[in-house]
Amino acid sequence: MFILLSILGGFLILTVGAEALVRGASQIALRLGLTPLLIGLTIVAFGTSAPELAVSVKSAIAGNSGIALGNVIGSNIANIGLILGITALIRPIKIESQMVRRDIPIMIAASLLFWSLLLDGGLSFWDGAILSALLVAYLTFSYLTAEKQTDDDIEDAQQNPMLSVLFIVIGISMLVGGGILFVDGAVAMAKSFGISEVIIGLTIVAIGTSMPELVTSIVAALKGQSDIAIGNVVGSNIFNVLGILGVTALIHPIIGSEISNLDWAAMIALAVLLLPFAYTGLRIGRREASLLIAGYVAYIGYIVSQAV
CATH number of the domain residue 84 falls in: 1.20.1420.30
- Using DSSP bridges, classify how beta strands 283-284 and 93-94 pair: parallel, antiparallel or unpaired: antiparallel
Parent domain of 42:
1-307
213 CB-near residues (< 8 Å, 6+ apart)? 48, 49, 75, 79, 83, 232, 233, 236
Kindly indicate the confidence band of residue 283, based on its pLDDT and cuts at 50, 70 and 90: confident
Kindly indicate the confidence band of residue 179, based on its pLDDT and cuts at 50, 70 and 90: low
Beta-bridge partner residues of 148: 34
What CA–CA distance (Å, rounded) separates 257 from 109?
22
Phi, then psi, of 121 in degrees rounded to 5: 105, 0
What CA–CA distance (Å, rounded) separates 257 from 77?
19
C-beta separation of 220 from 102 below 8 A: no
Q: In terms of Cα–Cα distance, which of 63, 99, 131, 156 is closest to 274?
A: 99
Which range has the top average pLDDT, 39-43, 63-67, 119-123, 212-216?
119-123
Q: pLDDT: is 242 or 58 the higher one?
A: 242
One-letter identity of residue 149: Q
Number of domains making up the chain = 1
pTM of the model: 0.81
What CA–CA distance (Å, rounded) separates 188 from 200?
10
CA distances from 52 to 42, 147, 191, 276 (A): 15, 29, 19, 28
What CA–CA distance (Å, rounded) separates 93 from 192?
39
Question: Comparing 45-59, 152-166, 169-183, which segment has the lowest mean pLDDT?
Answer: 152-166
Q: In terms of Cα–Cα distance, which of 74, 7, 67 is closest to 262?
A: 74
Residues in the chain: 308
223 CB-near residues (< 8 Å, 6+ apart)? 22, 26
Average pLDDT over residues 221-242: 86
